[in-house]
């Protein structure tokens, strides 16, 4: 059974790639997204027949999200997130640090710490935020506290 699935998948991919390889990238991405959705749906159906409802549910959900484009957009957003190693090593200015922490004037150290804590609760990587932005918050706090 697995060999039939692999052969059918290879045939579908061959025709899909040979027909759409010369198309515009947007059309190619759309086609690839839909082929991925069909493949995930087929695998989910086969796994459901074998009795593993949980895995079939996850794959079925991924198939629906892929068809709608939500899975594709999520994966693209994760790929576009800058890494700390890729960032410019430009020094942050005092005004940038104030803007990042949403402060004005010359705040006290307690105000800086409170703003840092408030914002960190929103964008910490453990809360689903970005490590890049958390690092920028830490850098801004350290600059304003002159550490």
Domains belonging to the chain, first-starting first, are 2-80 (no CATH), 84-144 (1.10.287.110)
What is the rounded CA–CA span in Å between residue 59 and residue 48? 10
Lowest mean pLDDT among 76-85, 103-112, 119-128: 76-85
Q: Which is more confident, 12 or 42?
A: 42
Residue 65 — very low, low, confident or very high, per pLDDT cuts 50/70/90? Answer: confident
Task: Give pLDDT, residue 4.
Answer: 76
Residue 120's Cβ-count burial label (10 Å; 0-12, 13-18, 19+) is: middle
Q: How far apart are CA 4 and CA 76, in angstroms?
A: 31
- pLDDT (0 to 100) of residue 128: 75
Confidence at residue 89, expressed as pLDDT on a 0 to 100 scale: 56
The Cα 123–Cα 100 span in angstroms is 12
Nearest to 96 by CA among 139, 65, 135: 139
Residue 23 has pLDDT above 70, yes or no: no
24: left (phi over 0), alpha (psi -120 to 50) or beta: beta
Q: CA dist 8 to 4, 13, 33, 35, 39, Å? A: 6, 9, 18, 12, 10
Tokens for 24, please give them: 């515009």
Q: Are 35 and 16 in contact (CB under 8 A)?
A: yes
Query: What pLDDT, on the 0 to 100 scale, is given for residue 35?
Result: 80
pLDDT given at position 85: 46
């Amino acid at each position: 059974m697995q060999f039939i699935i692999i052969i059918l998948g290879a045939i579908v991919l061959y025709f899909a790639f040979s027909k759409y390889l010369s198309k515009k990238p947007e059309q190619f991405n759309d086609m690839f997204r839909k082929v991925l959705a069909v493949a995930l749906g087929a695998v989910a159906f086969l796994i459901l027949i074998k009795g593993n409802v949980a895995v079939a549910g996850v794959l079925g959900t991924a198939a629906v999200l892929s068809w709608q484009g939500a899975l594709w957009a999520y994966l693209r957003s994760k790929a576009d997130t800058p890494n700390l190693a890729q960032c410019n090593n430009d020094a942050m200015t005092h005004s940038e640090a104030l803007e990042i922490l949403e402060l004005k004037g010359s705040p006290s150290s307690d105000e800086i710490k409170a703003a840092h804590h408030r914002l960190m609760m929103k964008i910490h990587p453990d809360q689903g935020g970005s490590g890049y932005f958390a690092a920028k918050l830490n850098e801004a706090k350290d600059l304003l506290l002159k550490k």
